[in-house]
Amino acid sequence: MSKGVLLMRIAGDGRIVEWSARAADLLGRSREQAEGHTVTDLVDGYDSATERWALPAALGAVSVQPVVSGDSLIWEVRDGQRDETTDRDRAILQTLLVHSPVELIVVDGDLRVVQPQSGRLEAAPSVDGAPHRQDFLGVLSLEDPERERAVAREVLRTGEPTLRRVVRATPKAGTRRRPVDYSLSYLRLEGADGEVLGLVVAAIEVTEQKRALRRLKLLEHVRATVGERLEVVAVCQELVDAVAPLFAGIVVVEVIEDVIRGEEPPLAPVDHDLPLRRAAFKGIVSAYAVGDVRRLPDGTPFSRVLNDLRPRLVTVTKDSAWLSADPARADAIAQSDAYSLIVTPLTVRGQALGVVSFYRRRDEEPFDEDDIALASDLCAHAALCIDNARRFTRERTIAATVKRRLLPQRTSEPCTIAVASMHIPGPGGGGAWFDAIQMAGGRTALVLGDVIGRGVATATTMGQLRTVIHALAALDLEPNELMARLSDTAVQLASERAALPAGDPLHHQPLTAGCLIAVYDSVENTCTIVRAGLSDPYLVRPDGAAETLSVPGGPVLAGTDHAPFPATEFPLPPGSVLAVGNEDLLQKESALRAVLREGAELPLDELSDRLAYTLRDRHETEKMLLLARAKGLPPDQVLTVPLAEDLAAVPEARAAVHRQLGKWSIGADDAFMTELVVSELVANALRYGAPPYRLRLILDEHLTCEVRDADDSVPHLKHARTIDEGGRGLFIVASIAEGWGIRYHGQGKTVWAQQSTGTAR
């Protein structure tokens, strides 16, 4: 081929059929002015001296050579001057077209391929000797060719390039090639005169990069969404929701049953008899219902994975031998048209938690080795989340067991008050508790406490505080004094917790607790309340009137505020219902107060259920309500006798007690013991106390004898010597009574002794 730049092509009849931009520059005629005309129409005139047509001086020497095109002959006219820049550009273009990793496709204004990259996208064979130009969108087999056609035409129109558009190309029907992804860039191709010649389309296959990006995004999605809840089954469901259908159309998660219950997972190889639960499923047909528990049959990929904890890529065919070991699963696979399977273990620290099965159907790409690595990464994260949930389940189970053992069991109620509780456990348990402690003199201490936190540490702290309350209640302390001593104990426990090593998780959990103590006196029909941190109680009176009791609060237990705990006393007539709750339940929930008002006459167990129904689906935190209905003690079960200020009061007291015990049908032996106790207590008060004196005899579950005086001195139990004439009073009382104690008042004290009798009510 001659060197030089092509100027024009001339048909056999002299007409110009192609006019280049260089010819337009040299001869001053545009393409529209030249094509279709003869050369003689374009030159300046004929020179008779030289017998040549006059040509522009800038044109210089030209060369003309014939070229056969089909059945016709075309003359090519080239500029004889060598253009080094053009040669270099041609070499660069040739190198790019042949050797560049980027697919360069030159298309004309009709988006037909003019020049494909050699060796990749081949031009179509010629038709009648002339090349047949293909539509470049058809060459690439794009999924959405019309959208790309619109983009290409916009680049042709505006000249504004469009770069790095990632598009999907599908293989032609009948081929086994996978779909591929291209990054397409469109650049408008212009001539020297600005004429639009077409486009250069740069296509880079980014299939692997796109797949790697999809895998990375999927892994990030799983890490962000799986493990938000601390329940094993919930984590499994989060996994299938995250990966289906992004990674596989069918996903099955099967977890060892012991793991779901919080037990330690077994080491591999797993015993073939160990049952697994189908914890989660997403797909078309499930072989077994979610929640079904069964062992995995031997000789299947699933049992093999639990044996060596190695993932497997399996191509499923109807002839796969392992399908016969599990007919139900084989039938589900057939109905789902699944053919590619990855089975991956759920494992941590060499321990087996379960298996995950990923299936792809015929309309999905088969799994490959890269997918095995991705499935392993997905399941590694899920296994950690499942193990965390298992540990939480175990701790919650232990905490719930400890707490259940520490809370009061169902026992007989005092005859003077009815008690019930409403308890809604929160996630991970909690530290709320209640107590109804019988005290001497027809009194009952109602306690509601709440240790902030969850888990075993919270449950054990709750048990410690509850034990302290029982011990302090036995000392017959006043409610405010009892709360102060309880707070001292909580402060001590908090200091012990703070002294733990910094690495101990409990070191960073401050101890905070609230408590309310209400002491109900069934003889006086009064209630004395002290609260530390908890909200005011709610009272429904026998006539239906209801109100929130205003009880001044003291500081929370174990707090830094050392303010006192004020006690508030108010009437509590028989038939009144007192409600105490944690978390300000009664203040925040008007519906609860309405239920209390409307159901005040119901049995307390039924009323408790109604309150729980009102709070249904509210398990975000632990909720507890303590309900108490005052019954009072009938007047005929109480004897009150004012005592004289001399020893003559002793026989008078014995006589009054003897008569009353006869009315109560107390047996002679018990009556004798009671009269002896009364004699000793009255004599002791007269000898060491101060007037006024009062004797009170109370019959409820026990027979209680009380002697009150105005002196604050502390009686002491003495062991008298043989030669001593006195000092045996309290010793005798302690010997024959089941219990005795001292209760202090604002002025004076009460010494009491308690006995059991066959007729006590």
Q: What confidence tens digit (pLDDT) does each residue in 438-451 have?
A: 998 899 999 999 99
CB 123 within 8 A of CB 138: no
**Domain check: are 368 and 263 in the same one?**
yes
Kindly state whether residues 626 and 639 are assigned to the same domain: no
pLDDT at 670 over 90: no
- Both 267 and 375 in one domain: the answer is yes
Q: Does residue 761 form part of some domain?
A: no
Last residue of a domain, one of 355, 373, 396: 396
Mean pLDDT of 231-246: 93
Judge if 518 and 448 occupy the same domain.
yes
CATH number at residue 29: 3.30.450
pLDDT (tens digit per residue) in 567-620: 999 999 999 999 999 988 898 889 999 999 999 999 999 999 999 999 887 778
100 and 78 in a common domain = no
CATH code of residue 129? 3.30.450.20
Q: Note the pLDDT of residue 11.
A: 80
406 occurs within a structural domain: no
H/E stretch holding 254: strand 250-256
User: Is 368 strand, coil or helix?
Assistant: coil
Containing domain of residue 35, as a range? 5-82
Asked whether residue 80 carries a pLDDT value surpassing 80, the answer given is no
The reply to whether the predicted model has a pTM over 0.95 is: no
Residue 679 belongs to domain with CATH number: 3.30.565.10
What are the E-state strand segments in 680-724?
A: 693-699, 703-709
**The total number of structural domains that make up the chain:** 5
Instruction: Report in angstroms the alpha-carbon separations of 549 from 420, 479, 540, 546, 570.
Output: 20, 17, 10, 9, 9
Query: Residues 78, 90: one domain?
Result: no
The answer to whether position 721 is within a domain reads yes
Q: How far apart, in whole angstroms, are the C-alpha atoms of residue 581 and residue 565?
A: 19
pLDDT, residue 189, reads: 83
Q: Mean of the pLDDT values across residues 631-638?
A: 92
* C-beta of residue 183 within 8 angstroms of C-beta of residue 204: yes
281 DSSP assignment: E
Distance from C-alpha of 7 to C-alpha of 16, rounded to nearest angstrom: 10
**For 289-318, what is the mean pLDDT?**
92
Report d(CA 425, CA 218) in Å as an integer.
36
Q: Are residues 623 and 492 in the same domain?
A: yes
**Highest mean pLDDT pick, 174-178, 211-215, 267-271, 705-709:** 705-709
* pLDDT at position 720: 47
pLDDT value of residue 627: 96
Between 126 and 339, where is the model more confident? Answer: 339
Contacts of 718 (CB under 8 A, 6+ apart): 727, 728, 730, 731
Q: Which residue has the higher pLDDT, 334 or 86?
A: 334
646 and 731 assigned to the same domain? yes
Rounded to 10 deg, the angle between the 232-243 and 207-225 helix axes is: 160
Mean pLDDT of the chain: 84
* Number of separate helices (H) and strands (E) present in the chain: 19, 33
pLDDT band for position 354 (50/70/90)?
A: very high
Say whether both 417 and 288 belong to one domain: no
Confidence of residue 639 (pLDDT cuts 50, 70, 90): very high
Q: In 615-740, where does DSSP find H-type helix? A: 649-663, 668-688, 729-736
For residue 404, is it within any domain?
A: no
Q: Which of 186, 205, 224 is the last residue of a domain?
A: 205
Distance separating alpha carbons of residues 576 and 497, to the nearest angstrom: 41
Q: Is 339 in the same domain as 247?
A: yes
Q: Are residues 601 and 489 in the same domain?
A: yes
Residue 453 has pLDDT above 80, yes or no: yes
Which pLDDT score, from 0 to 100, does residue 310 have?
94
Q: With 80 as the cut, is the pLDDT of residue 314 above it?
A: yes
**Contact (Cβ atoms closer than 8 angstroms) between residue 593 and residue 607:** no
Q: Which of the residue ranges 52-61, 631-640, 663-672 would you say has the lowest mean pLDDT? A: 52-61
State whether 43 and 145 are in the same domain. Answer: no
User: Sorting pLDDT into bands at 50, 70 and 90, what band is 454?
Assistant: confident
Average pLDDT over residues 320-333: 92
The residue from 599, 630, 661 where one domain ends is 630
| Predicted confidence (pLDDT) per residue in 465-503, tens digit | 999 999 999 888 899 999 999 999 999 998 988 888 887
